[in-house]
Amino acid sequence: MSTMSTEQPVRVRFAPSPTGHLHVGSARTALFNWLIARKSGGAFILRIEDTDTARNVAGADRKIVEDLRWLGLHWDEGIEVGGPHAPYYQSQRMDLYEAAIARLLETGHAYYAFDTSDELDAMRAVAQERKCTFRYPRPERFPDEADVERARQQGLPVVVRFVMPERDITVNDEIMGDVTVAATELDDFIIRKADGMPTYHLANVVDDAHMGVTLVIRGQEFLAQTPRHIALQAALGYATPRYAHMALTMDMKGRKLSKRDGAVEVFAFRQEGYLPEALLNFIALLGWSPGGDRERFTLDEMIGLFSLDRMNRMNSKFDRDKLLAFNTDAIREASPERLLAAFDDWLSVNPDSPIAKANLDTATRRMLLAANTSVRTLADLESRAGFIFAADDAIAYDPAAVKKVLEKGDGAGYAMLETLVAVFEGLEPWSEEAIDETIRAFCETQAVGMGKVAQPIRVAVSGGTVSPGIGQTLALLGREKTLRRIRRILTERPVQS
RNA sequence: GGCCCCAUCGUCUAGAGGCCUAGGACACCGGCUUUUCACGCCGGCAACACGGGUUCGAAUCCCGUUGGGGUCACCA
Protein backbone atom coordinates (compact mmCIF):
# COMPACT_ATOMS: atom_id res chain seq x y z
CA MET A 1 0.00 0.00 0.00
CA SER A 2 1.19 3.48 -0.81
CA THR A 3 0.28 4.72 2.65
CA MET A 4 2.89 2.38 4.07
CA SER A 5 5.54 4.94 3.40
CA THR A 6 9.18 4.02 3.46
CA GLU A 7 9.95 7.33 5.11
CA GLN A 8 13.22 7.18 7.03
CA PRO A 9 13.22 8.64 10.55
CA VAL A 10 13.36 12.40 10.18
CA ARG A 11 14.45 15.07 12.62
CA VAL A 12 12.16 18.04 12.24
CA ARG A 13 11.62 21.16 14.27
CA PHE A 14 9.02 23.76 14.98
CA ALA A 15 10.73 27.07 15.63
CA PRO A 16 8.35 29.89 16.58
CA SER A 17 9.28 33.37 17.70
CA PRO A 18 7.99 34.22 21.16
CA THR A 19 5.53 36.93 20.22
CA GLY A 20 2.31 35.59 21.72
CA HIS A 21 -0.05 32.67 21.64
CA LEU A 22 0.26 30.10 18.88
CA HIS A 23 -1.35 31.23 15.63
CA VAL A 24 -3.49 28.60 13.82
CA GLY A 25 -1.22 28.92 10.81
CA SER A 26 1.76 28.07 12.99
CA ALA A 27 -0.21 25.27 14.58
CA ARG A 28 -0.67 23.83 11.12
CA THR A 29 3.08 23.97 10.48
CA ALA A 30 3.68 22.33 13.84
CA LEU A 31 1.12 19.64 13.09
CA PHE A 32 2.66 18.59 9.78
CA ASN A 33 6.13 18.52 11.30
CA TRP A 34 4.84 16.52 14.23
CA LEU A 35 2.98 14.09 11.99
CA ILE A 36 5.96 13.21 9.88
CA ALA A 37 8.19 12.88 12.93
CA ARG A 38 5.73 10.43 14.46
CA LYS A 39 5.10 8.58 11.25
CA SER A 40 8.78 8.11 10.49
CA GLY A 41 9.74 7.33 14.06
CA GLY A 42 11.92 10.43 14.10
CA ALA A 43 12.12 13.40 16.44
CA PHE A 44 10.09 16.59 16.80
CA ILE A 45 12.08 19.49 18.21
CA LEU A 46 10.71 22.71 19.72
CA ARG A 47 13.11 25.63 19.45
CA ILE A 48 12.43 29.26 20.30
CA GLU A 49 13.78 31.80 17.82
CA ASP A 50 14.18 34.87 19.97
CA THR A 51 16.89 36.76 18.15
CA ASP A 52 14.75 39.85 17.68
CA THR A 53 15.03 41.46 21.08
CA ALA A 54 12.57 44.19 20.14
CA ARG A 55 9.79 41.81 19.20
CA ASN A 56 10.17 39.24 21.93
CA VAL A 57 7.26 39.16 24.34
CA ALA A 58 7.90 38.01 27.88
CA GLY A 59 6.01 34.86 28.70
CA ALA A 60 5.12 34.08 25.11
CA ASP A 61 7.18 30.90 25.17
CA ARG A 62 4.98 29.64 28.01
CA LYS A 63 1.88 30.37 26.00
CA ILE A 64 3.21 28.49 23.01
CA VAL A 65 4.04 25.53 25.20
CA GLU A 66 0.56 25.60 26.69
CA ASP A 67 -1.10 25.77 23.28
CA LEU A 68 1.00 22.98 21.82
CA ARG A 69 0.26 20.76 24.80
CA TRP A 70 -3.43 21.51 24.61
CA LEU A 71 -3.35 20.37 21.00
CA GLY A 72 -1.51 17.23 22.03
CA LEU A 73 1.52 17.99 19.89
CA HIS A 74 4.26 16.91 22.26
CA TRP A 75 7.92 17.38 21.41
CA ASP A 76 10.84 15.05 21.95
CA GLU A 77 13.51 17.70 22.34
CA GLY A 78 13.20 21.37 23.12
CA ILE A 79 12.35 23.90 25.75
CA GLU A 80 11.01 22.52 29.01
CA VAL A 81 11.79 18.91 28.10
CA GLY A 82 15.48 19.41 27.27
CA GLY A 83 17.48 17.21 24.94
CA PRO A 84 20.96 16.53 23.60
CA HIS A 85 21.25 19.90 21.88
CA ALA A 86 20.13 22.19 24.68
CA PRO A 87 19.65 25.04 25.19
CA TYR A 88 16.68 25.48 22.87
CA TYR A 89 16.42 29.26 23.09
CA GLN A 90 18.49 30.93 20.40
CA SER A 91 19.33 33.79 22.74
CA GLN A 92 21.23 31.23 24.80
CA ARG A 93 23.21 29.86 21.87
CA MET A 94 25.15 32.97 20.96
CA ASP A 95 28.53 31.26 21.13
CA LEU A 96 27.52 28.95 18.30
CA TYR A 97 26.51 31.84 16.06
CA GLU A 98 29.58 33.84 16.96
CA ALA A 99 31.80 30.91 16.05
CA ALA A 100 30.04 30.47 12.72
CA ILE A 101 30.26 34.18 11.94
CA ALA A 102 33.93 34.28 12.89
CA ARG A 103 34.59 31.35 10.58
CA LEU A 104 32.79 33.02 7.69
CA LEU A 105 34.72 36.22 8.32
CA GLU A 106 38.04 34.37 8.35
CA THR A 107 37.35 32.42 5.21
CA GLY A 108 36.26 35.48 3.26
CA HIS A 109 32.62 34.38 3.17
CA ALA A 110 31.54 37.40 5.14
CA TYR A 111 32.52 41.01 5.71
CA TYR A 112 31.71 43.99 7.91
CA ALA A 113 29.51 46.81 6.70
CA PHE A 114 28.66 50.14 8.31
CA ASP A 115 25.74 51.55 6.37
CA THR A 116 23.03 53.39 8.25
CA SER A 117 19.45 52.49 7.51
CA ASP A 118 18.96 55.88 5.90
CA GLU A 119 21.77 55.17 3.47
CA LEU A 120 20.32 51.78 2.73
CA ASP A 121 16.87 53.27 2.15
CA ALA A 122 18.37 55.81 -0.24
CA MET A 123 20.11 53.09 -2.26
CA ARG A 124 16.89 51.10 -2.46
CA ALA A 125 15.00 54.15 -3.61
CA VAL A 126 17.44 54.65 -6.45
CA ALA A 127 17.11 51.02 -7.50
CA GLN A 128 13.34 51.37 -7.35
CA GLU A 129 13.50 54.37 -9.67
CA ARG A 130 15.65 52.53 -12.14
CA LYS A 131 13.22 49.62 -11.87
CA CYS A 132 15.84 47.09 -11.05
CA THR A 133 16.34 44.66 -8.19
CA PHE A 134 18.28 46.23 -5.36
CA ARG A 135 21.47 44.34 -4.58
CA TYR A 136 23.81 45.47 -1.88
CA PRO A 137 27.01 46.78 -3.50
CA ARG A 138 29.77 44.53 -2.24
CA PRO A 139 32.95 46.56 -1.56
CA GLU A 140 36.10 45.68 -3.47
CA ARG A 141 38.07 45.59 -0.28
CA PHE A 142 36.46 44.15 2.85
CA PRO A 143 36.81 46.35 5.93
CA ASP A 144 39.35 45.09 8.48
CA GLU A 145 39.29 45.24 12.27
CA ALA A 146 40.78 48.71 12.25
CA ASP A 147 37.94 49.93 10.06
CA VAL A 148 35.48 48.34 12.44
CA GLU A 149 37.09 50.15 15.35
CA ARG A 150 36.92 53.44 13.50
CA ALA A 151 33.28 52.89 12.55
CA ARG A 152 32.37 52.10 16.14
CA GLN A 153 34.03 55.29 17.31
CA GLN A 154 32.07 57.27 14.77
CA GLY A 155 28.91 55.68 16.11
CA LEU A 156 28.15 53.85 12.90
CA PRO A 157 26.21 50.60 12.99
CA VAL A 158 28.42 47.55 12.49
CA VAL A 159 26.85 44.56 10.81
CA VAL A 160 28.23 41.47 9.10
CA ARG A 161 27.12 40.53 5.61
CA PHE A 162 27.40 37.19 3.91
CA VAL A 163 29.17 36.93 0.56
CA MET A 164 26.48 35.49 -1.62
CA PRO A 165 28.04 33.30 -4.32
CA GLU A 166 27.46 34.31 -7.94
CA ARG A 167 25.53 31.27 -9.00
CA ASP A 168 21.95 30.24 -9.54
CA ILE A 169 20.63 28.10 -6.72
CA THR A 170 17.99 25.42 -7.02
CA VAL A 171 15.84 24.33 -4.12
CA ASN A 172 14.69 20.73 -4.54
CA ASP A 173 11.48 21.27 -2.71
CA GLU A 174 9.39 18.23 -1.84
CA ILE A 175 6.14 20.07 -2.22
CA MET A 176 6.84 22.85 -4.70
CA GLY A 177 9.25 20.94 -6.90
CA ASP A 178 12.56 22.30 -8.16
CA VAL A 179 12.68 26.05 -7.78
CA THR A 180 15.65 27.92 -9.18
CA VAL A 181 16.52 31.42 -8.11
CA ALA A 182 18.93 33.32 -10.33
CA ALA A 183 22.15 34.67 -8.87
CA THR A 184 21.05 38.14 -9.94
CA GLU A 185 18.15 37.97 -7.50
CA LEU A 186 20.31 37.41 -4.46
CA ASP A 187 22.62 39.78 -2.66
CA ASP A 188 24.88 39.96 0.37
CA PHE A 189 22.42 39.76 3.24
CA ILE A 190 23.08 40.56 6.87
CA ILE A 191 23.94 37.70 9.19
CA ARG A 192 24.76 39.72 12.29
CA LYS A 193 22.81 42.78 13.25
CA ALA A 194 24.22 45.96 14.74
CA ASP A 195 23.03 44.86 18.18
CA GLY A 196 25.23 41.79 17.88
CA MET A 197 22.38 39.33 17.44
CA PRO A 198 22.45 36.92 14.50
CA THR A 199 19.70 37.30 11.92
CA TYR A 200 17.13 34.60 11.39
CA HIS A 201 18.99 33.23 8.38
CA LEU A 202 22.21 32.61 10.24
CA ALA A 203 20.77 31.35 13.52
CA ASN A 204 18.29 29.13 11.81
CA VAL A 205 20.87 27.48 9.58
CA VAL A 206 23.40 27.04 12.38
CA ASP A 207 20.84 25.52 14.74
CA ASP A 208 19.33 23.20 12.18
CA ALA A 209 22.80 21.88 11.44
CA HIS A 210 23.80 21.49 15.08
CA MET A 211 20.53 19.90 16.02
CA GLY A 212 20.72 17.43 13.17
CA VAL A 213 17.55 18.58 11.47
CA THR A 214 17.09 16.52 8.31
CA LEU A 215 13.82 17.91 7.02
CA VAL A 216 12.47 21.44 7.11
CA ILE A 217 8.73 21.87 6.71
CA ARG A 218 7.70 25.51 6.81
CA GLY A 219 5.47 28.05 5.12
CA GLN A 220 5.94 29.11 1.54
CA GLU A 221 6.93 32.59 2.64
CA PHE A 222 10.38 31.12 3.28
CA LEU A 223 10.83 29.53 -0.12
CA ALA A 224 12.42 32.58 -1.71
CA GLN A 225 14.84 32.77 1.22
CA THR A 226 15.95 29.19 0.99
CA PRO A 227 18.74 29.82 -1.55
CA ARG A 228 20.37 32.04 1.07
CA HIS A 229 20.20 29.19 3.55
CA ILE A 230 21.63 26.73 1.07
CA ALA A 231 24.52 29.06 0.30
CA LEU A 232 25.14 29.54 4.01
CA GLN A 233 25.18 25.78 4.56
CA ALA A 234 27.72 25.35 1.76
CA ALA A 235 30.00 28.04 3.16
CA LEU A 236 29.78 26.57 6.64
CA GLY A 237 30.28 22.99 5.46
CA TYR A 238 26.85 21.86 6.61
CA ALA A 239 24.66 19.34 4.86
CA THR A 240 21.53 20.79 3.29
CA PRO A 241 18.39 19.32 4.81
CA ARG A 242 15.37 18.29 2.77
CA TYR A 243 12.92 21.14 2.26
CA ALA A 244 9.16 21.16 2.02
CA HIS A 245 7.42 24.50 1.68
CA MET A 246 3.70 24.48 2.35
CA ALA A 247 1.16 26.67 0.62
CA LEU A 248 -0.30 29.25 2.97
CA THR A 249 -3.61 29.50 4.78
CA MET A 250 -5.51 32.73 4.15
CA ASP A 251 -8.77 34.22 5.35
CA MET A 252 -11.96 33.92 3.30
CA LYS A 253 -11.03 36.93 1.20
CA GLY A 254 -7.69 35.41 0.33
CA ARG A 255 -5.85 37.83 2.56
CA LYS A 256 -3.61 37.08 5.47
CA LEU A 257 -5.51 35.56 8.39
CA SER A 258 -6.21 38.45 10.68
CA LYS A 259 -7.74 38.87 14.08
CA ARG A 260 -10.34 41.15 12.56
CA ASP A 261 -12.55 38.36 11.30
CA GLY A 262 -12.35 36.11 14.32
CA ALA A 263 -10.08 33.93 16.36
CA VAL A 264 -6.65 33.27 14.90
CA GLU A 265 -4.87 32.01 17.96
CA VAL A 266 -5.17 28.44 19.16
CA PHE A 267 -5.91 29.74 22.64
CA ALA A 268 -8.82 31.83 21.34
CA PHE A 269 -10.38 28.75 19.77
CA ARG A 270 -9.92 26.97 23.07
CA GLN A 271 -11.75 29.76 24.85
CA GLU A 272 -14.50 29.69 22.26
CA GLY A 273 -15.15 26.08 23.10
CA TYR A 274 -13.47 24.19 20.28
CA LEU A 275 -12.06 20.73 20.88
CA PRO A 276 -8.40 20.25 19.92
CA GLU A 277 -9.22 17.11 17.92
CA ALA A 278 -11.65 19.10 15.76
CA LEU A 279 -9.25 22.00 15.25
CA LEU A 280 -6.42 19.66 14.32
CA ASN A 281 -8.54 17.63 11.93
CA PHE A 282 -9.76 20.78 10.22
CA ILE A 283 -6.33 22.35 9.98
CA ALA A 284 -4.81 19.19 8.58
CA LEU A 285 -7.14 19.42 5.61
CA LEU A 286 -5.82 22.85 4.70
CA GLY A 287 -3.32 21.82 2.10
CA TRP A 288 -3.37 18.11 2.70
CA SER A 289 -5.67 15.29 1.84
CA PRO A 290 -5.11 11.55 2.02
CA GLY A 291 -7.07 11.13 -1.21
CA GLY A 292 -10.56 9.76 -1.67
CA ASP A 293 -13.66 10.94 0.16
CA ARG A 294 -12.55 10.60 3.75
CA GLU A 295 -11.96 13.73 5.76
CA ARG A 296 -12.54 12.85 9.39
CA PHE A 297 -9.54 11.46 11.25
CA THR A 298 -8.19 11.09 14.74
CA LEU A 299 -4.63 12.25 15.34
CA ASP A 300 -3.46 8.65 15.30
CA GLU A 301 -5.15 8.01 11.98
CA MET A 302 -3.49 11.11 10.56
CA ILE A 303 -0.09 9.77 11.55
CA GLY A 304 -0.76 6.66 9.54
CA LEU A 305 -2.17 8.52 6.55
CA PHE A 306 0.19 11.47 6.34
CA SER A 307 2.73 11.91 3.61
CA LEU A 308 4.39 14.93 2.04
CA ASP A 309 3.50 13.92 -1.50
CA ARG A 310 -0.16 14.39 -0.61
CA MET A 311 0.40 18.07 0.15
CA ASN A 312 -1.22 20.62 -2.16
CA ARG A 313 0.57 23.53 -3.72
CA MET A 314 -2.27 25.99 -3.60
CA ASN A 315 -3.15 28.35 -0.81
CA SER A 316 -6.25 27.53 1.17
CA LYS A 317 -8.83 29.62 2.97
CA PHE A 318 -9.74 29.21 6.58
CA ASP A 319 -13.46 28.44 6.48
CA ARG A 320 -14.78 28.92 9.99
CA ASP A 321 -18.13 27.39 9.11
CA LYS A 322 -16.50 24.13 8.25
CA LEU A 323 -14.46 24.19 11.45
CA LEU A 324 -17.69 24.69 13.38
CA ALA A 325 -19.18 21.67 11.67
CA PHE A 326 -16.14 19.59 12.58
CA ASN A 327 -16.45 20.75 16.17
CA THR A 328 -20.15 19.93 16.31
CA ASP A 329 -19.38 16.39 15.26
CA ALA A 330 -16.44 16.09 17.63
CA ILE A 331 -18.66 17.08 20.55
CA ARG A 332 -21.39 14.68 19.50
CA GLU A 333 -18.95 11.83 19.12
CA ALA A 334 -16.97 12.48 22.29
CA SER A 335 -17.43 10.03 25.14
CA PRO A 336 -19.03 11.43 28.31
CA GLU A 337 -15.62 11.37 30.01
CA ARG A 338 -13.89 13.16 27.14
CA LEU A 339 -16.64 15.75 27.01
CA LEU A 340 -16.51 16.38 30.73
CA ALA A 341 -12.74 16.83 30.54
CA ALA A 342 -13.12 19.23 27.62
CA PHE A 343 -15.82 21.17 29.45
CA ASP A 344 -13.71 21.42 32.57
CA ASP A 345 -10.86 22.69 30.44
CA TRP A 346 -13.19 25.26 28.92
CA LEU A 347 -14.30 26.37 32.38
CA SER A 348 -10.67 26.76 33.38
CA VAL A 349 -10.00 29.19 30.55
CA ASN A 350 -13.30 31.06 31.02
CA PRO A 351 -13.22 31.68 34.76
CA ASP A 352 -15.40 34.78 34.52
CA SER A 353 -18.38 33.13 32.88
CA PRO A 354 -21.47 32.71 35.09
CA ILE A 355 -21.36 29.00 34.50
CA ALA A 356 -17.78 28.79 35.78
CA LYS A 357 -18.49 31.01 38.74
CA ALA A 358 -21.36 28.75 39.75
CA ASN A 359 -18.78 26.09 40.65
CA LEU A 360 -21.06 23.28 39.59
CA ASP A 361 -20.42 19.87 41.06
CA THR A 362 -19.45 17.01 38.79
CA ALA A 363 -22.92 15.49 38.70
CA THR A 364 -24.43 18.78 37.55
CA ARG A 365 -21.75 19.30 34.93
CA ARG A 366 -22.37 15.81 33.59
CA MET A 367 -26.10 16.41 33.55
CA LEU A 368 -25.69 19.68 31.69
CA LEU A 369 -23.54 18.00 29.07
CA ALA A 370 -25.78 14.98 28.71
CA ALA A 371 -28.85 17.12 28.17
CA ASN A 372 -27.26 19.48 25.67
CA THR A 373 -25.81 17.21 23.02
CA SER A 374 -26.74 19.60 20.25
CA VAL A 375 -24.28 22.34 21.16
CA ARG A 376 -21.71 23.18 18.54
CA THR A 377 -19.06 24.57 20.87
CA LEU A 378 -18.61 24.28 24.61
CA ALA A 379 -19.25 28.00 24.81
CA ASP A 380 -22.77 27.32 23.53
CA LEU A 381 -23.43 25.77 26.92
CA GLU A 382 -22.88 29.19 28.40
CA SER A 383 -25.16 31.02 25.98
CA ARG A 384 -27.78 28.28 26.30
CA ALA A 385 -27.74 27.68 30.02
CA GLY A 386 -25.67 30.47 31.51
CA PHE A 387 -28.77 32.39 32.61
CA ILE A 388 -29.62 29.58 35.00
CA PHE A 389 -26.57 30.40 37.05
CA ALA A 390 -26.73 34.17 36.74
CA ALA A 391 -28.26 36.40 39.41
CA ASP A 392 -32.02 36.86 39.10
CA ASP A 393 -31.77 40.59 38.49
CA ALA A 394 -29.10 40.05 35.84
CA ILE A 395 -31.70 38.58 33.50
CA ALA A 396 -32.29 40.93 30.58
CA TYR A 397 -35.58 40.64 28.77
CA ASP A 398 -35.64 40.46 25.01
CA PRO A 399 -38.44 42.88 23.97
CA ALA A 400 -39.34 40.83 20.91
CA ALA A 401 -39.68 37.69 22.99
CA VAL A 402 -41.77 39.43 25.63
CA LYS A 403 -44.06 40.86 22.99
CA LYS A 404 -44.49 37.63 21.09
CA VAL A 405 -44.73 35.17 23.95
CA LEU A 406 -46.27 37.13 26.81
CA GLU A 407 -48.20 40.14 25.54
CA LYS A 408 -49.72 38.69 22.39
CA GLY A 409 -53.39 37.71 22.76
CA ASP A 410 -54.21 40.17 25.52
CA GLY A 411 -51.38 39.01 27.73
CA ALA A 412 -52.20 35.32 27.42
CA GLY A 413 -48.63 34.48 28.32
CA TYR A 414 -48.82 36.44 31.56
CA ALA A 415 -52.09 34.74 32.41
CA MET A 416 -50.46 31.41 31.83
CA LEU A 417 -47.65 32.32 34.21
CA GLU A 418 -50.15 33.34 36.89
CA THR A 419 -51.72 29.90 36.67
CA LEU A 420 -48.33 28.22 36.65
CA VAL A 421 -47.24 29.83 39.91
CA ALA A 422 -49.80 27.80 41.81
CA VAL A 423 -48.86 24.65 39.92
CA PHE A 424 -45.20 25.04 40.74
CA GLU A 425 -45.82 25.86 44.38
CA GLY A 426 -47.38 22.48 44.93
CA LEU A 427 -45.09 20.45 42.72
CA GLU A 428 -43.30 17.58 44.53
CA PRO A 429 -40.56 16.61 44.17
CA TRP A 430 -38.81 19.45 42.34
CA SER A 431 -37.00 17.27 39.85
CA GLU A 432 -36.52 17.31 36.10
CA GLU A 433 -38.78 14.31 35.60
CA ALA A 434 -41.53 15.55 37.90
CA ILE A 435 -41.53 19.00 36.32
CA ASP A 436 -41.73 17.61 32.79
CA GLU A 437 -44.45 15.19 33.84
CA THR A 438 -46.48 17.88 35.58
CA ILE A 439 -46.26 20.28 32.67
CA ARG A 440 -47.20 17.55 30.25
CA ALA A 441 -50.24 16.66 32.33
CA PHE A 442 -51.12 20.33 32.73
CA CYS A 443 -51.10 20.80 28.96
CA GLU A 444 -53.44 17.87 28.54
CA THR A 445 -56.00 18.96 31.11
CA GLN A 446 -55.92 22.53 29.88
CA ALA A 447 -55.98 21.38 26.27
CA VAL A 448 -53.12 23.66 25.24
CA GLY A 449 -49.96 22.98 23.29
CA MET A 450 -46.62 22.62 24.97
CA GLY A 451 -45.38 25.80 23.33
CA LYS A 452 -48.04 27.90 25.02
CA VAL A 453 -46.75 26.79 28.39
CA ALA A 454 -43.02 26.31 27.94
CA GLN A 455 -42.33 29.54 26.06
CA PRO A 456 -43.75 31.92 28.69
CA ILE A 457 -41.73 30.10 31.31
CA ARG A 458 -38.59 30.42 29.19
CA VAL A 459 -39.02 34.14 28.78
CA ALA A 460 -39.69 34.54 32.49
CA VAL A 461 -36.64 32.63 33.67
CA SER A 462 -34.17 33.39 30.88
CA GLY A 463 -35.36 36.63 29.31
CA GLY A 464 -35.46 35.00 25.89
CA THR A 465 -36.97 32.13 24.01
CA VAL A 466 -34.01 29.77 24.10
CA SER A 467 -33.03 27.35 26.83
CA PRO A 468 -32.33 23.69 27.43
CA GLY A 469 -35.34 21.41 27.99
CA ILE A 470 -37.81 23.12 30.32
CA GLY A 471 -37.72 20.36 32.96
CA GLN A 472 -33.97 20.45 33.25
CA THR A 473 -33.88 24.21 33.20
CA LEU A 474 -36.27 24.58 36.12
CA ALA A 475 -34.78 21.70 38.07
CA LEU A 476 -31.34 23.30 37.83
CA LEU A 477 -32.78 26.69 38.67
CA GLY A 478 -34.60 25.46 41.76
CA ARG A 479 -38.13 26.15 42.82
CA GLU A 480 -37.32 29.32 44.67
CA LYS A 481 -35.53 31.05 41.82
CA THR A 482 -38.06 29.83 39.32
CA LEU A 483 -40.92 31.37 41.26
CA ARG A 484 -38.95 34.51 41.97
CA ARG A 485 -38.23 35.07 38.30
CA ILE A 486 -41.82 34.39 37.30
CA ARG A 487 -43.15 36.77 39.94
CA ARG A 488 -40.63 39.39 38.94
CA ILE A 489 -41.73 39.44 35.32
CA LEU A 490 -45.38 39.45 36.37
CA THR A 491 -44.84 42.63 38.39
CA GLU A 492 -42.43 44.34 36.03
CA ARG A 493 -44.20 43.61 32.74
CA PRO A 494 -41.00 44.82 30.99
CA VAL A 495 -42.42 45.97 27.64
CA GLN A 496 -45.58 48.04 27.18
CA SER A 497 -47.44 47.33 23.99
C1' G B 1 7.68 46.68 -10.47
C1' G B 2 11.63 42.26 -10.69
C1' C B 3 11.76 37.19 -9.30
C1' C B 4 9.13 32.77 -7.51
C1' C B 5 4.67 29.77 -6.68
C1' C B 6 -0.39 28.59 -7.74
C1' A B 7 -5.31 27.99 -10.55
C1' U B 8 -11.71 21.91 -10.08
C1' C B 9 -18.50 24.02 -6.92
C1' G B 10 -18.85 30.25 -2.51
C1' U B 11 -15.07 27.14 0.76
C1' C B 12 -11.87 22.55 1.83
C1' U B 13 -10.93 18.99 -1.63
C1' A B 14 -11.20 13.86 -4.86
C1' G B 15 -9.29 13.41 -9.72
C1' A B 16 -2.22 11.19 -11.79
C1' G B 17 -5.24 11.07 -20.66
C1' G B 18 -10.57 7.40 -21.63
C1' C B 19 -13.74 4.75 -15.15
C1' C B 20 -16.14 12.33 -15.28
C1' U B 21 -23.20 13.35 -17.72
C1' A B 22 -16.53 15.64 -12.55
C1' G B 23 -17.21 12.50 -6.54
C1' G B 24 -17.29 13.89 -1.10
C1' A B 25 -17.59 17.53 2.90
C1' C B 26 -18.95 22.61 4.71
C1' A B 27 -22.06 26.66 3.53
C1' C B 28 -26.67 27.80 1.05
C1' C B 29 -31.94 26.47 -0.43
C1' G B 30 -36.27 23.13 0.36
C1' G B 31 -38.66 19.26 3.27
C1' C B 32 -39.08 16.08 7.71
C1' U B 33 -38.55 15.94 13.05
C1' U B 34 -39.71 19.34 17.19
C1' U B 35 -41.96 22.41 24.12
C1' U B 36 -37.72 27.01 22.27
C1' C B 37 -32.89 27.41 19.88
C1' A B 38 -30.30 23.98 17.88
C1' C B 39 -28.87 18.95 16.56
C1' G B 40 -30.34 15.19 13.36
C1' C B 41 -32.39 13.00 8.80
C1' C B 42 -33.77 13.43 3.46
C1' G B 43 -33.48 16.11 -1.07
C1' G B 44 -31.70 20.23 -4.19
C1' C B 45 -28.44 24.19 -6.22
C1' A B 46 -23.37 24.61 -7.44
C1' A B 47 -16.91 24.04 -10.43
C1' C B 48 -12.63 22.02 -14.33
C1' A B 49 -10.40 30.82 -15.13
C1' C B 50 -9.68 32.01 -20.53
C1' G B 51 -7.21 31.09 -25.35
C1' G B 52 -4.18 28.13 -28.20
C1' G B 53 -1.84 23.53 -29.05
C1' U B 54 -0.43 17.78 -28.34
C1' U B 55 -3.70 13.38 -28.79
C1' C B 56 -8.36 8.97 -31.67
C1' G B 57 -9.55 11.19 -26.80
C1' A B 58 -7.74 16.30 -21.94
C1' A B 59 -10.00 18.69 -15.57
C1' U B 60 -5.61 15.75 -16.25
C1' C B 61 0.33 17.11 -20.85
C1' C B 62 2.65 21.86 -23.29
C1' C B 63 2.53 27.30 -24.34
C1' G B 64 0.31 32.02 -23.65
C1' U B 65 -3.25 35.36 -21.23
C1' U B 66 -5.74 36.65 -16.97
C1' G B 67 -6.31 36.29 -11.84
C1' G B 68 -4.45 35.24 -6.86
C1' G B 69 -0.46 34.58 -3.38
C1' G B 70 4.67 34.90 -1.75
C1' U B 71 9.30 37.51 -1.70
C1' C B 72 12.59 41.49 -2.53
C1' A B 73 14.26 44.14 6.09
C1' C B 74 19.70 45.08 10.83
C1' C B 75 11.25 40.42 11.19
C1' A B 76 11.06 35.75 11.66
Write phi, then psi, for A481 (nearest 5 degrees).
-70, -35
The verdict on whether omega for the bond into residue A456 sits within 30 degrees of 0, i.e. cis, is no
Residue A4 confidence class, pLDDT cut points 50, 70, 90? very low
User: What pLDDT does A1 receive?
Assistant: 33
Is A4 part of any domain? no
Same domain, A143 and A233: yes
pLDDT of residue A319 exceeding 90: yes
Average pLDDT over residues A143-156: 96
Same domain, A218 and A262: no
From the list A250, A304, A298, the residue with the least C-alpha distance to A275 is A298
Number of domains in chain A: 4
CATH code of the domain covering residue A98 = 3.40.50.620
User: What pLDDT does A266 receive?
Assistant: 97
Same domain, A126 and A234: yes
Domain that holds residue A341: 334-390
Render pLDDT for A443-482 as a digit per residue (tens, 0 to 9): 988 888 899 999 999 999 999 999 999 999 999 999 999 9
Same domain, A446 and A379: no
Share of chain A above pLDDT 70, in %: 98
Same domain, A179 and A105: yes
Mean pLDDT of chain A: 94
Is A322 part of any domain? no
Same domain, A270 and A176: no
Is A176 part of any domain? yes
Render pLDDT for A83-102 as a digit per residue (tens, 0 to 9): 999 999 999 999 999 999 99
Contacts of A189 (CB under 8 A, 6+ apart): A136, A161, A162, A164, A199, A201, A228
Same domain, A144 and A225: yes
Nearest-CA residue relative to C1' of B11: A319
Cβ of A73 less than 7 A from strand B: no
User: What pLDDT does A308 receive?
Assistant: 96
Q: How far is the CA of A180 from the C1' of B46 (A)?
A: 39
Render pLDDT for A31-80 as a digit per residue (tens, 0 to 9): 999 999 999 999 999 999 999 999 999 999 999 999 999 999 999 999 99
Question: Looking at strand B, which nucleotides approach a protein CB closer than 7 A?
Answer: 1-8, 10-16, 23-28, 35-40, 68-76
Is A306 part of any domain? yes
Interface predicted TM-score (ipTM): 0.95
Render pLDDT for A167-216 as a digit per residue (tens, 0 to 9): 999 999 999 999 999 999 999 999 999 999 999 999 999 999 999 999 99
Is A383 part of any domain? yes
Same domain, A308 and A364: no
Share of chain A above pLDDT 90, in %: 83
Q: Is the pLDDT higher at A407 or at A202? A: A202
Scanning every strand, the nucleotide with its C1' closest to A440's CA turns out to be: B35
For chain A, what's the residue count? 497
Same domain, A294 and A414: no
Contacts of A495 (CB under 8 A, 6+ apart): A397, A399, A402, A403, A407
User: What pLDDT does A128 receive?
Assistant: 81
How far is CA A70 from each of CA A82, A96, A343, rounded to the nearest angstrom? 19, 32, 13
